[in-house]
A and B are shown apart, each in its own frame.
Chain A
Amino acid sequence: MTEKKDTKVKKVAIICAKASIEDVYATLVMANGAVMEGMEAKVFFTFFGLDAITKKYMNKLHTSTVGNPGMRMPGGLPFPTLLGLIPGVETGVSAMMRGQMDKLDIPPVDEFLDMITAGGGEIYACKLAMDMFKLEKKDLSDHVIDVITIGEFYNMAGGEGSQIIFT
């Protein structure tokens, strides 16, 4: 019989490729949760995920009101997809969602990055996606340590008790 050995998670490397509120916040909550537990956390933002670290967009993220089966009206009735098509509805719903989060002491994206980096977490941007969206380092939050390739990110994601998470 082999002896069962549990290795604690010591490091998380999180990759965020989407820009919706829920995807970005899942990433930020996991990264912050890791540093709060004394673990190492490194986050790699790529493709639309770059919105979360782009100064212009980071605090104006949206959630999708179209094709989102989890979306409900206040009170719990289903949210008609057609309603989500009306201009301004997605913006309103997104603002409402951010307001709800603020009540729970979940900070806006820029402040969340402050918290994660204050705890030693590291933020990286994907070089390929930056080239694709014609972004430069100066367009990004000052919390971004470097613009790197996925290969370089993998190289810093190893070690005993480390996990790579894709959101």
Chain B
Amino acid sequence: MAQKNYAGVTIEVTEEGYLVDSSKWNESIAKEIAKEEGIELTDKHIAVLKFIRENQSGLTIRKVGKSGIVDIKGFYDLFPGGPLKLSSKIAGINKPTSCV
């Protein structure tokens, strides 16, 4: 287990940088994790992150694509280079285990 300092709070993260306790998450923390990944969060990002947090069990790219917030192409554009993993990390939830 590692510790990171985000938005003035020290938080426990896994080796790969996912928050250990998802309830410690807030938007300021999300902004800082996103910055580390080279992403500047917009309102659209935040809407997707909220959807992901509310639907974390059995989360797939397909579900995000059907959320009505963003289509799959848009999801790739928002979180380039690994949308499901990146968005889960920024949303403060566990690393996704889905293959689809």
Contact = CB atoms under 8 A, between A and B. Distances in A.
Nearest to A120: B76
B68 interface: no
A106 B60 CA distance: 9
A120 B76 CA distance: 9
B61 interface: yes
B99 to A, nearest CB: 6
A32 B100 CA distance: 7
A32 B82 CA distance: 11
A84 interface: no
A119 B99 CA distance: 14
Interface string A4-38: 00000000000000000000000001001101111
Chain A: number of interface residues, binned into ranges: 10 to 19
Q: Looking at A29, A32, A36, A119, which has the most chain B CB atoms within 10 Å of its CB?
A: A36
B81 interface: yes
A136 to B, nearest CB: 27
A37 B62 contact: no
Interface string A91-110: 00000000000001111000
A71 interface: no
A139 B98 CA distance: 32
Contact of A29 (B58, B73, B81, B99): B99
Contact of A107 (B62, B73, B83, B99): B62
Interface in A31-56: 32-33, 35-38
A115 interface: yes
Nearest to A35: B76
A29 B82 contact: no
A119 B62 CA distance: 12
18 contacts: A29-B100, A32-B100, A36-B83, A37-B82, A38-B80, A38-B81, A105-B60, A105-B98, A105-B100, A107-B62, A111-B62, A115-B61, A115-B65, A115-B100, A118-B71, A118-B75, A118-B76, A120-B76
